[in-house]
Amino acid sequence: MRTLIIAEHNGQHLNEQVARAVTAAQQWQQPVDVLIAAAQPDALAAQAAALQGISSVLVASDAALQHPTAEHLAEIIVPLAANYNVVLAAHSAFSKNVLPRVAALLDVNMLSDVLEIVNTNTYVRGIYAGNVLATVQSSDATQVLTVRGSKFAAAATGNAAGITTVAAPAAPVGSRWVAEAFNKSERPALTAAKVVVSGGRALGSADAFAQVIAPLADKLHAAIGASRAAVDAGYAPNDLQVGQTGVVVAPELYIAVGISGAIQHAYGMKDSKVVVAINQDPEAQIFKIADYGLVADLFEVVPQLTAAL
Ligand SMILES: Cc1cc2nc3c(=O)[nH]c(=O)nc-3n(C[C@H](O)[C@H](O)[C@H](O)COP(=O)(O)OP(=O)(O)OC[C@H]3O[C@@H](n4cnc5c(N)ncnc54)[C@H](O)[C@@H]3O)c2cc1C
């Protein structure tokens, strides 16, 4: 049998998590194909074909795929799934939208945010905000799963896999793309940044985010993150929320400023390579996760740190 990877992209570039999904897919020791569904798929197909470990790239092309809906993608994937015993993607807002629909249409279970593939149908995944690791086994004929990208190295390039065209059924009439709004930022994307500086409730205002967190992030060419308390209070926009109900990040360096380290926040950042915590409470939970801790008033030390860099 074969494994099918659903590739996330922005119309021009593959998401860097696709290469990580390719590494995860090698665990089955069977041919791995990548599906590119796009309005103009040529450049994307070439990028996918270069990934080591890919047997072939399947291309579904349709004008409506300029802005694909999850419903449309599911219509493309489900007929293909008959040839595959594994359908997988890197865990993201994109795959969380598409693959549960695929699993439902195939009448199989969805295995989300897999951290480790033990064998061909057994997986480790976090439950209770990552505090408990559950080992689960699926007896479904088709395994539909998303994998945590940060747990798998990115596949190298240098391959020249074949490219095959597959049918793209027409977009379903029940839903259609209307518009999208992007937050324009010069900063690196939160999920791809090598350094993340996150602020918590202790900042006390959006102004403090701009005056204390942003200058430090600028110096480090970092993305800005926030705790849910900071987001709920309106100090930072929703898309910066790190944690169980926000995004999961695993940068080289994560600096938590005025964040207590609740389990729901830790879920989103504890795989970071190096964690630095600045908190005035020496008992704060965040110090249990941190590699380096500074017990201090953030309003004193963060500007000093920024000035020293
Ligand atoms: C279902 C569910 C999902 C959730 N999902 C998320 C999620 O995705 N992400 C998330 O972050 N949270 C999430 N939460 C909320 C989480 O439980 C915490 O409430 C939240 O993370 C707390 O944010 P905080 O650390 O900024 O605030 P607090 O817990 O209030 O911590 C503020 C910290 O700042 C320190 N401090 C105060 N003043 C200063 C100063 N001047 N200098 C230095 N330090 C100072 C304090 O000592 C304290 O440790 C979720 C909760 C639930 C129930």
Amino acid letter for position 165: T
Q: How many CB atoms lie within 10 A of CB 89?
A: 29
Averaged confidence pLDDT in the chain: 95
Instruction: Check pLDDT > 90 for residue 129.
Output: no
The structural domain count of the chain equals 2
Nearest protein CA to atom 39 of ligand 1, as residue: 202
Cα of 229 from ligand 1 centre, angstroms: 5
Tell me how far CA of residue 292 lies from CA of 148, 243, 274, 276, 288, in angstroms.
25, 20, 8, 5, 10
Structural domain includes residue 228: yes
Query: Is 154 annotated as ligand-binding?
Result: no
Q: Crossing angle for the helix pair 93-106 and 70-80, nearest 10 degrees?
A: 50
Task: Please tell me the predicted confidence (pLDDT) of residue 144.
Answer: 98
Q: Ligand 1 in contact with 231 (CB < 6 A)?
A: no
* CATH number, position 233: 3.40.50.1220
State whether 219 and 151 are in the same domain: no
Neighbouring residues of 65: CB distance < 8 A, sequence distance ≥ 6: 37, 38, 39, 72, 168
Lowest mean pLDDT among 96-110, 123-137, 270-284: 123-137
Cα of 226 from ligand 1 centre, angstroms: 9
Structural domain includes residue 175: no
Each residue of 233-288: pLDDT tens digit? 999 999 999 999 998 899 999 999 999 999 999 999 999 999 999 999 999 999 99
DSSP string, 175-216: -----------SSPPTTT-SEEEEE-GGG-SHHHIIIIIHHH
Amino acid letter for position 128: Y
Q: Which residue has the tokens 């593959």?
A: 14
8 Å CB contact between 123 and 40: no
Cα of 138 from ligand 1 centre, angstroms: 36
Q: CA geometry: angle at 37 spanning 31 and 41, to 5°?
A: 100
Structure tokens at 116: 């480790």
Nearest protein CA to atom 47 of ligand 1, as residue: 281
Query: Is 280 annotated as ligand-binding?
Result: no
Q: Ligand 1 in contact with 36 (CB < 6 A)?
A: no
8 Å CB contact between 297 and 280: yes
8 Å CB contact between 6 and 95: yes
Probe target for ligand 1 pocket from 203, 240, 245, with the most ligand atoms within 8 Å of CB: 245
Nearest protein CA to atom 14 of ligand 1, as residue: 264
Domain span including residue 199:
195-308
Domain stops at, among 165, 186, 209: 165
State whether 47 and 142 are in the same domain: yes
Query: Is 150 annotated as ligand-binding?
Result: no
Tell me how far CA of residue 116 lies from CA of 67, 113, 120, 142, in angstroms.
32, 9, 11, 18
The bridge status of strand 274-279 relative to strand 195-199 is unpaired
State whether 263 and 132 are in the same domain: no
Q: Ligand 1 in contact with 198 (CB < 6 A)?
A: no
Query: Is 158 annotated as ligand-binding?
Result: no
- Phi and psi dihedrals of 306, rounded to 5? -60, -45
State whether 153 and 237 are in the same domain: no
State whether 154 and 18 are in the same domain: yes
Stated pTM of the model: 0.79
Each residue of 31-60: pLDDT tens digit? 999 999 999 999 999 999 999 999 999 999
Query: Is 227 annotated as ligand-binding?
Result: yes
Each residue of 162-184: pLDDT tens digit? 999 999 998 988 888 999 887 77
Cα of 300 from ligand 1 centre, angstroms: 20
Structural domain includes residue 180: no
For the chain, the C-alpha Rg in angstroms (whole number) is: 21
Closest alpha carbon to 56 in 138, 172, 165, 218: 165
State whether 60 and 153 are in the same domain: yes
Task: Please tell me the predicted confidence (pLDDT) of residue 191.
Answer: 85
Task: Please tell me the predicted confidence (pLDDT) of residue 140.
Answer: 97
Q: Ligand 1 in contact with 270 (CB < 6 A)?
A: no
